[in-house]
Structure 1
Amino acid sequence: MPHRPHLLEWLKDAANAAAYVEAALEEDNPAGLLQALRNIAEARGGMARIAAKTGLNREALYRTLSRRGNPQLKSLAAILGATGLRLSVTPAAPR
C-alpha cells in the first residue's frame, strides 16, 4: 500500500487520529474501525509499545484488533488511551 507511510505520518497527530476514528465509526463497519485502530496504534508508538501501555501482550493486541476481533469496552478504552485518544459520546444525527 504506497500511501501507508503517509497515512501513518498523518495519524501521528491526535486531531487527525480522532477524525480517522470518527470517520470509521460513521461507516458502521466494525472491521473498518478495528483496521483504523491498528493503523493508529502503529502510527502512535507501534504495537509493542501500545501493548505494554495497555497491559495486553502483543499477540492479544493483534488478535483484539484483527478483522475478527471483538474487543471489550475496557480493552477499547485502554487502546484508545494508550494512543492518546479517549471514548466520547455525541448525539446521533436525526434519521
Structure 2
Amino acid sequence: MVKTRPFDAAEVLDSPEMIAAWLTEAFGSDDPALMTRAIGAVARSQGMAAVAGKAGLSRENLYRALGGDARPEFGTVIKVLHALGIDLIAKPRTGAQVS
C-alpha cells in the first residue's frame, strides 16, 4: 500500500517568484479564506516565529489569524505581507469599467 500525505504548499514555496505566483493566484480567487490560507502557507514556509516577530505579532496570534477560518484585520494582513517582503499592488481588472 502506498502512503500519501496532504499537500502542503509551505514545502515548495522556496523562491520569491514562486511565492508571488502562489499569492497572485490566491488573490485572484475572490475567496478571502483561500487568500488567508495562502498567506499562511507563505508564512509557514518562512518560519512562523520569524514572520510573527517581524510583523510585531505573537506566533499564536499569527497562526490564529492565518488559519483560513478567521477573518484577520486588514492591518494584520498588511503587517504580515510586509514582514514577508510582499507589497500589494493595485492594477485594473481585465474589462473593469470605472463609472
> Identity rate of aligned residues, in percent?
33
Match in the other structure for 2:48: 47
Match in the other structure for 2:32: 30
Matched residues in 2 for 1:63 and 1:9: separation? 20
Task: Give the counterpart letter for 2:48 in structure 1.
Answer: M
Q: Tell me the C-alpha RMSD between the 2 structures.
A: 1.6
Task: After superposition, give the CA deviation of every residue in 1:20-67 in whole Å (9 maximum; x if it has no partner).
Answer: 1110011111111111111100112x1111111111101111111122
Matched residues in 1 for 2:72 and 2:6: separation? 29
Instruction: Say whether the 8 Å CA contact 1:31–1:67 is kept in structure 2.
Output: yes
Matched residues in 1 for 2:90 and 2:43: separation? 21
Secondary structure at the aligned position of 2:30 is classed as coil
Larger radius of gyration: 2
Structure 1: state its 5+ residue gaps.
none
TM-score by length of 2: 0.81
1:73 to partner: Cα distance? 2.1
Match in the other structure for 2:72: 71
Match in the other structure for 2:84: 83
Structure 2: state its 5+ residue gaps.
none
Secondary structure at the aligned position of 2:88 is classed as coil
TM-score by length of 1: 0.84
1:9 to partner: Cα distance? 4.7
Matched residues in 1 for 2:11 and 2:69: separation? 26
